[in-house]
Structure 1
Amino acid sequence: MTMLRSEETKLLLEQDKRVLSPSEVNLTATVLDQACRTLLLIAPTSGCGTTSSALSMARQLAQSAKGKLLLVDASPSATGLSSRLGMAADPGLFELLHSEHPEQQFGRCIQRHPDLPFDLLPLGHPSPASGRFTAEDLQRLLGCLAARYRFVVIDAEAVYSGTSGLTLAAMADGVVLVVRAEETRWEVAQAAVQRLRQANANLLGSVFNARKFYMPKWLYKLL
């Protein structure tokens, strides 16, 4: 199992040490109550902060439950988890999907960091020579990971950025919709919820990122 260097994640870890929003705290309790093993975080569109929410959720679950946790990068975004943690060149999810015996590749693909209470699986790189993987390949791999970890948290591709997010959402035990306050339009969020439900996803709730709390005018005048 590969160990990440501390300097590669220092900045992101500092950003991750923010106070959890009430929605994140409530969702963590919901996940624990429902005994979900695979939890997927997905946004309607890119730029909603899914990676930051996935990191925060993974940290909270790792601190609240017994057993190991794995955070999976399943989003091809250029600013996704693998790129931000310096793992963009490393083998990961794609290599496991293309392997006939993924369990034998865990030691090569799964990484650890001394400052994180959970393991990491980078996105990896698709192999044209290996052909396309199927939904059955995804289901089999998730089963292998869930058997090894108490929780598998997945940072997924946005609903309107591709099809992989919806495919994974249908397989996960629970799904959390990530929206960005004052930027994600209500109609877009509602349409994303509808698509998730059409995919038979088990939608547990949502996380509101970058929420602003405005000061009442009467209080401002007192300052």
Structure 2
Amino acid sequence: MRGGDAPQPTASEPASSSQTYSSRYLQRSESAAAPSPSATETVAEPVVAKAEDAGRHVADNDLSNTEEAPAPVKTKPLRKLVPRGVQIPLAKNVKRQIARSERELGMFEGNLSSAGKDLTTLYFTSCFDGDGKTISALYAAWGLANQGERVLLIDTNITKPALQRYFPDSGPGFAEVIAGGVPLEEALHATDHKELEYISAGTLPLGAHITDTAMQDILTALKPYYKYIILDGSSVFSGSEATRMAPVVDGMILVVTCEQTRWEAAQSAEEKISNSGGNLLGISMNRRKFYIPKRIYNWLSN
């Protein structure tokens, strides 16, 4: 090594801490996907421009006296994350409830399409705990997967995880991934729906916390692989997490309990989301009461 040359990093050296999780992950994916050259393959030599006059400067973009340069090879990231976790089933009683709501679930994607394009990350929140945001997020994820879209469901409510009531809790989760100790694939679980995958909440190490920057970094790494990423988040009035994550996601859905959530609370939650820079896509009405037979309601709404 010459005295003026900087030492080159080796493959065994850890990635720089200044790199984001998404850049490190994509670099690792590209190196794994790139085929190694065989012994019979030849390496193409760079094309050297031939100048008519030795004293004439040939610009890089002057192709009149050069051979046609080969097109650059674009290395694409892997298009599929392979779950390393065990396959986990959804509770049978929840499957029966979802089957009874198939008509409403089929309308969800249509409502998203009318809300605008480029809506990949959807954060489900509510005014208070217990308003039904978790089951609403689960229904939305299952309904979108039924439309043939690849969907990822993440429990981001680390302090009060609720999706574990419907999926068995197994292995590390989102907290371990965002803390930097676990690769995405190890926390990713396949479900008994072929288009739906799941990441549990997990447990944060002592003293660690989720920042909006870390959340955005993880979502950036996940976006190329899924049509929709559904986040079961925290309620607006239980802490600051929902408003901190509002500008990070593509859209938020506020879940309210019919005939229980006061309109003043819903309006205040909407204002907090908007003032935080969030994109409130709409309100989901949970626990609706039908004062007429449901079959008549369905007939009238057609």
> Where on the TM-score scale, by shorter chain, does this alignment land: which range?
0.7 to 0.9
Q: Is residue 2:180 matched to residue 1:99?
A: yes
Q: Kindly tell me: are residues 42 and 132 of structure 1, through their superposed partners in 2, closer, same or farther at Cα, counting changes over 3 Å?
A: closer
CA distance in 2, matches of 1:107, 1:169: 26
TM-score with structure 1 setting the length: 0.83
Question: Which one of the candidate residues 142, 146, 152 is aligned to 2:219?
Answer: 142
- The answer to whether the Cα contact below 8 Å between 1:90 and 1:109 also exists between their aligned partners in 2 is yes
Q: What does the per-residue CA deviation read over 1:124-182, in whole Å, with 9 as the maximum and x for residues that have no partner? A: 100126x3343211110111111221110111111111222222222111111111101
Q: Kindly tell me: are residues 9 and 27 of structure 1, through their superposed partners in 2, closer, same or farther at Cα, counting changes over 3 Å?
A: closer
Q: Kindly tell me: are residues 124 and 18 of structure 1, through their superposed partners in 2, closer, same or farther at Cα, counting changes over 3 Å?
A: same
How many matched pairs?
Answer: 208
CA distance in 2, matches of 1:61, 1:145: 17
* Structure 2 counterpart of 1:111: 189
Q: Kindly tell me: are residues 85 and 155 of structure 1, through their superposed partners in 2, closer, same or farther at Cα, counting changes over 3 Å?
A: same
The structure richer in strand per residue is 1
CA distance in 1, matches of 2:248, 2:92: 33
Identity of aligned residues (%): 26
Question: Which one of the candidate residues 232, 235, 238 is aligned to 1:161?
Answer: 238
* Structure 1 counterpart of 2:97: 15
CA RMSD of aligned residues (A): 2.4
**More RCO (CA 8 Å, sep 6+):** 1
Q: Structure 2, unaligned stretches of length 5 or more?
A: 1-83, 294-302
Q: Which runs of 4+ in 1 moved over 4 A?
A: 24-27
- The answer to whether the Cα contact below 8 Å between 1:69 and 1:119 also exists between their aligned partners in 2 is yes
Q: Is residue 2:266 matched to residue 1:189?
A: yes
* Structure 2 counterpart of 1:54: 137
- The answer to whether the Cα contact below 8 Å between 2:256 and 2:283 also exists between their aligned partners in 1 is yes
Q: Kindly tell me: are residues 45 and 25 of structure 1, through their superposed partners in 2, closer, same or farther at Cα, counting changes over 3 Å?
A: farther
| Structure 1 counterpart of 2:204, one-letter code | P
Q: Structure 1, unaligned stretches of length 5 or more?
A: 217-223
User: Secondary structure, in 3 states, of the residue corresponding to 1:132?
Assistant: coil
User: Secondary structure, in 3 states, of the residue corresponding to 1:3?
Assistant: coil
| Structure 2 counterpart of 1:9, one-letter code | A
CA distance in 2, matches of 1:142, 1:117: 18
* Structure 2 counterpart of 1:198: 275
Post-superposition offset of 1:98: 0.8
Q: Is residue 2:171 matched to residue 1:90?
A: yes
Q: What does the per-residue CA deviation read over 1:24-63, in whole Å, with 9 as the maximum and x for residues that have no partner? A: 6554313234231111111111111111111111122222
Post-superposition offset of 1:113: 1.5
| Structure 1 counterpart of 2:280, one-letter code | L
* Structure 1 counterpart of 2:206: 128
User: Secondary structure, in 3 states, of the residue corresponding to 1:147?
Assistant: helix
TM-score with structure 2 setting the length: 0.62
User: Secondary structure, in 3 states, of the residue corresponding to 2:198?
Assistant: strand
Post-superposition offset of 1:16: 2.9
User: Secondary structure, in 3 states, of the residue corresponding to 2:172?
Assistant: coil
Q: Kindly tell me: are residues 157 and 55 of structure 1, through their superposed partners in 2, closer, same or farther at Cα, counting changes over 3 Å?
A: same
CA distance in 1, matches of 2:107, 2:94: 24
